[in-house]
Structure 1
Amino acid sequence: MLQLGGYFKLIELGLEDCVSDIDAQPVYGYALYKDGKGAKLFYPLEKFNSDVSGRSFHNGRFIQKMREKAVTLPNVRLEQGTVTSLVEEKGTVKGVQYKTKSGEEKFPMALWQY
């Protein structure tokens, strides 16, 4: 579930197309139920375009769209493999060691390189 604020952030970042073509369902609010009683709460969307709403979707499809978008950027290189160990520093994961599909062992790769 992508809350309305999360969708606004995607728009701000130019990533709103990452929720298209993944069978995402628009969400306009909530329904709450307790003890046989219910209430509906709607997002205040009156001043927004008709495509503005929260989204409910299969997370894997969304992640794939984000990956597809990321690899179009000039400073991004996609590497895929199976993680064999974590590189930790003071209890925080800083990188990974992984094996490629061809079986080649790749040594510690930083997750975030600035």
Structure 2
Amino acid sequence: MAFDISRKNDVEKLISYSDDLVHLLNDQKDIIYLNQCLQQSDALRSRCRSDHAQLHTSLQDYHKKIDACKQKTEAAKAEGASDAEIHLLQKELDEEVQTEAFLREDLR
């Protein structure tokens, strides 16, 4: 029985909504206004899609630039490591030259 009452209420709400919609659409001004709203909505949707496409393209470009920067950073780090190795080798060479100078001094 409760099911019948809720169903009856739903049907009454639907009929009331339908009556309101028919009354609204009977007025020509409302139809014109709804058509204008629909056109503006379509224009807005088109603009949003265009903006989305531009943003997506820009985002892809930025990702490419970020990847390029990461590659340059990795290359610079690798090059920096070789500079450190060169510095270490230079230091060892200087120590060897100094040791050789001491040995020559001792030989005299």
Larger % of strand: which?
1
Larger % of helix: which?
2
Tell me, yes or no, whether TM beats 0.5.
no
CA radius of gyration, larger in: 2
Q: Which has the higher contact order (CA 8 A, sep 6+)?
A: 1
Give the TM-score, by structure 1 length.
0.20
Give the TM-score, by structure 2 length.
0.21
